[in-house]
Each structure stands twice: as C-alpha cells, then as structure tokens.
Structure 1
Amino acid sequence: MPEVDAEKCDNCRKCAHACEFSAIAAIGKAVVTFHDLCAGCGVCAYVCPTGAVEEVELRVGEVTSGHTDSGIDFHQGRLDVGHQRAGPVTTAVKRNIRQGCISILDAPPGTACPMQEAVDDSDFCILVTEPTPFGLANLREAADTSRRLGVPCGIIINRDRRTWDRIDRYAEQEGLEVLLRVPEEREIAEAYSRGETLADARPEWRDDLVAMYDRVAELVATQPSSTS
C-alpha cells in the first residue's frame, strides 16, 4: 500500500492521475491515500518522479499450505474479513508454485482481479460454465479476458442437460473446444455436497478426466509461446 513522504513530494499530482482506483488524491498541497480502495498495483510509486511514494506492507489475508496423502501440495489463499483486494492474496499463492511441476489454480467466478491474476502467465485456462443465459454471459467475458491475457482456453459444461445448445454454438463460433460435459444428476450434486470429487463419486469418470487432462496438455504443447 502507498505511503507518501511529504518532504519529498513536489505536488505534481502524477500519482493521483495515474491511479485507476481513486485510492490516492491530491488535495491542495497534501496527498491523501485511501487504503480500502487501493488494488496494490504500485503504479503510483512507479510514476512518482521524486520517490515520495513508497509501497509498504499491509495485511489483507493469509496463505496456508498442506499436503495430501498422495503427495500433492495444496496452497490456499484466504482474504481477511473486511478487505476487498483479493489480487495480492492470489499473487502470494502463486509464489508457492514450484517450477517444473504441474500446478492448478482455482479462481473465483467472474473476471475481476483474482481471476485475472490467477490466469496471467498460465499455460491454459479451463472455463467452467453452465447451460444458462447467465452462464453464457459470464463465459463470454471470461473467454475474452483469457484471450486478452494471451492465455488459450477451453470449456467444461457443468450440469449439462443437452437441451440448451447455445454454449456449443458459442464455442463453435469462437473456436473454443468443449473439453468435458458433466451431466446434471442428483447423485453428482449430492457427492459434491459431501466434499467428494467426481472421480471418487463416479469412478467410471476417471478415464474421461484423464482424457481431458491429456487433451489440455496437447493443446498447450501446440501453442507457439508455450514453455511447458
């Protein structure tokens, strides 16, 4: 978060003009910061010609880590109550990624900062949607965001009923691949409510999940900029 050294500040107002979140304002000869609005991007310190703006740490959440019995590392970012800036928490989670390992980042719905931070620098983005007008609208925004970040993406249709084909039409129109269809079944929903994975609740789905992983790996390998 920014702090301003009044002795170094020449009141040029560049920091206030550069901030897209109205988190820093020049009022008269004083510069006022609003930490609750700050996204922590650092642009104010970057544009300051005198070095008057300094970034200081402010706790907004925590990262906890653990391991599964099968040897999978797990890292969870938790935003503190009362804070809205989840982006820095996502960034902190990503610092735990080990080079050369397969890493899966789960982002919240939407296209806000947490989603963008999770997708940025990823090899591939899997967009999970549902066959509803609301799901399609969110899918359009998420796919557009992924493309703007330069990250290829594919689609999983959850609660698929095969009676609403607008997701498929959109995918065909945009050249996006439907990687998996999870049917709308009560048994699957009940398993989710118990905290069970699809593979545990329905072992016959394991081959489909492995096939999806292999397909994603194939798509990543064909990307010109891929480093995987």
Structure 2
Amino acid sequence: MKVSVLSGKGGTGKTTVSTNLALSLDNVQFFDADVEEPNSYIFIKPDFGQNYQQVLRKVPIVEQNRCTACRKCVDFCEYNALVLLSEEVLVIEEMCHSCGGCKYICPEDAISEKDKEAGKIKVDKSVNRMEFWQGELNIGEASAVPVIEVLNKNISQGKTVIMDAPPGTTCPTIAAINDADYCILVTEATPFGLHDLKMAVEVVKELGKPCGIIINRSESQADKLIEDYAISEDVDILTKIPFSREIAKLYSKGIPFVEKMPEWKEEFKKVFAKIEKVVG
C-alpha cells in the first residue's frame, strides 16, 4: 500500500506526520519526494554514503550549420527555452521541460538531444527498521517531476510505502500522489490552513483518491474551523496532534516525538488501521 502525505502549503507538519507515522509501522519503505528541500533525513538519520543515482533528462542541441532560423522550434516552445538571436537558436537548458517537441517539429532535422542531470536519488536500505529513499532536485532545475518519477519506480510491492509529498497542489504533488492508494492531508486550524486544505481536497477528489485529515498544532476551539469543513466534504479526521511545547522541543532537536512519547506510536498505528479499512 502507498500512502502519500501532503498539504496545501508548506509548514503545516507534513514531514512531522510522515516520519512519525513511518517510525510507528513495520516493513516500511519511506520516500522523501519533497525534492526541492528534502528534510525527512533530519528525523530518520540515514547514512547514504557517497553513492547516488543520477536522474537524467533530455535537453536539445541545435546544429547551427543545419539550422535555417525558421523559428518553428522557438514558436513551438511554451517555456521559452529556445531563443533566436540573429541567425542562431540559443538553448536555455534550465527552462527546458524536456518534452522533445522542438526536435520533432524541426523541418531541417537540426535538433538532437543530450542528457542533463536533473537531480539525485539517495538510499539507505536499513535505517530505523525501514528503507529510506531521498530525491534531490539540482539547483536551477525547472521541474521536480523527473526526480519524483524515478523515486516512484523504486517502490517495492509488499512494502508499506509512506511518501512525503511536495507541498501545494502543482505538478510535483500530482506526480507523488498519482498512484497512491490513500492520501493523508495535513493541515492546521487557521484560515490560511483551511484555504489551502480546500485546494488539496479538491485535487485528491479529482484524482479519485480516498483521503483523511490530520490536524497539526490542534487547539480545541480553533479546530472547529477544520471540523466543519471536513463534515461538509465527508472527509474523516484521522487524528489531531496537539499544539504542544514538548513536541515542539523534540522537533527543534530533530527527534521524532514517537520516540519519546510511545503512546503516539499506538495512535499512529490506529490511524494506519483506519486507512487499511478504507483501502481494503
């Protein structure tokens, strides 16, 4: 089973939930797919060593001696990765989305492709009783999707997969949840939290994914904001993590709170049991 943990915005506690959930379960394969700024390693503490897998994508090469400056490739590119300067076509690799369209549309067959490193995949296959996979997007890259797609290819059947998805509701998030069996939506009981939760719920429902909500930094009076919305959308609230100084102190030291508060391991096991019941 693959469970993706996401949020409508950053800073709601998505990594807190995903790491503590993973540490509460057995036979886990954990993926940090927040590849622009992965930080789950702070809590799981893997040892990657020096080895990593390159994530490659294709970018165009223009043979200027064959190019007739017809502008067809320049006009085709939606991302402005090709620019015609005088009689030469300049390729801006950082803006290219590797669709390959320019190569196919060129009437002179003047465009070929080369590999460019988009990011890295690192793995520790035995840390805290789990496999830990981390994607890293190279600085300057336009899209995180190629790195997340390679992470997805390393999912093992028979494992409980927990994926820390990118925040928001853009293409990288879709790549992380597209083949998920269940989505956990992490939010906070604030107007901003509710606003972005609504977008996340809309996305997962559009994709036909079952989902549930975890309220982080929960306070009884403020929670009604999220509770009322959950009722209106028929979405379960799986659990609430309190606004706790003790949890905040542990977080600041890079310590998962389930390690010092064992009752929360049991709570996360109950959350996972609810998910299993829904997924079947």
Per-residue deviation, residues 50-76 of structure 1 (Å, max 9, x unmatched):
777655321122111003345411110
* Equivalent position of 1:36 in the other structure: 94
Relative to the length of structure 1, the TM-score reads: 0.81
**Cα pair distance change 1:27/1:175, threshold 3 Å:** farther
* SS of residue matched to 2:180: coil
Question: Following the alignment from structure 2 to structure 1, what is the Cα–Cα distance between the partners of residues 278 and 74?
Answer: 42
Larger RCO (CA under 8 A, 6+ residues apart): 2
**Cα pair distance change 1:146/1:11, threshold 3 Å:** farther
Question: Following the alignment from structure 1 to structure 2, what is the Cα–Cα distance between the partners of residues 105 and 54?
Answer: 36
Amino acid at match of 2:101: C
* Equivalent position of 1:3 in the other structure: 60
Amino acid at match of 2:251: Y
Amino acid at match of 2:193: G
* SS of residue matched to 2:258: helix
1:57 corresponds, among 115, 118, 125, to 115
Segments of 4+ in structure 1 off by > 6 A? Answer: 26-30, 49-52
Q: 1:208 offset after TM fit, Å? A: 1.3
Instruction: Report whether the alignment pairs 1:207 with 2:266.
Output: yes
Per-residue deviation, residues 7-51 of structure 1 (Å, max 9, x unmatched):
59995847844x5433346789865543222334x2626974877
Question: Following the alignment from structure 1 to structure 2, what is the Cα–Cα distance between the partners of residues 145 and 54?
Answer: 37
Aligned length: 219
Instruction: Report whether the alignment pairs 1:23 with 2:57.
Output: no
1:127 corresponds, among 168, 185, 190, to 185
Alignment of 1:158-169 (within 5 A): 158-164=216-222, 165-169=224-228
Relative to the length of structure 2, the TM-score reads: 0.67
Question: Following the alignment from structure 1 to structure 2, what is the Cα–Cα distance between the partners of residues 16 and 145?
Answer: 32
Gap regions ≥5 residues in structure 1: 222-228
Which has the larger displacement, 196-205 or 43-52?
Answer: 43-52
Per-residue deviation, residues 162-215 of structure 1 (Å, max 9, x unmatched):
212111111111111111110000001111122222321211122211011011
Question: Following the alignment from structure 1 to structure 2, what is the Cα–Cα distance between the partners of residues 133 and 24?
Answer: 42
Alignment of 1:1-228 (within 5 A): 1-3=58-60, 7=66, 13=72, 16-17=75-76, 19-24=77-82, 32-40=90-98, 42=99, 44=101, 48=105, 54-164=112-222, 165-221=224-280
Contact 2:73/2:82, CA 8 A, preserved across alignment = no
Structure ranking higher in strand proportion: 2
Q: 1:158 offset after TM fit, Å? A: 0.3
Question: Following the alignment from structure 2 to structure 1, what is the Cα–Cα distance between the partners of residues 90 and 112?
Answer: 13
* SS of residue matched to 2:220: coil
Question: Following the alignment from structure 1 to structure 2, what is the Cα–Cα distance between the partners of residues 216 and 55?
Answer: 44
Question: Following the alignment from structure 1 to structure 2, what is the Cα–Cα distance between the partners of residues 44 and 23?
Answer: 12
* SS of residue matched to 1:68: strand
Question: Following the alignment from structure 2 to structure 1, what is the Cα–Cα distance between the partners of residues 96 and 241?
Answer: 39
Amino acid at match of 2:216: N
Question: CA RMSD for the aligned pairs?
Answer: 2.8
Question: Following the alignment from structure 1 to structure 2, what is the Cα–Cα distance between the partners of residues 21 and 146?
Answer: 27
**Cα pair distance change 1:30/1:142, threshold 3 Å:** farther
Gap regions ≥5 residues in structure 2: 1-57
Amino acid at match of 1:186: R
* Equivalent position of 1:226 in the other structure: none
**Cα pair distance change 1:203/1:112, threshold 3 Å:** same
* SS of residue matched to 1:110: coil
* SS of residue matched to 1:67: strand
* SS of residue matched to 2:186: strand
Q: 1:4 offset after TM fit, Å? A: 5.3
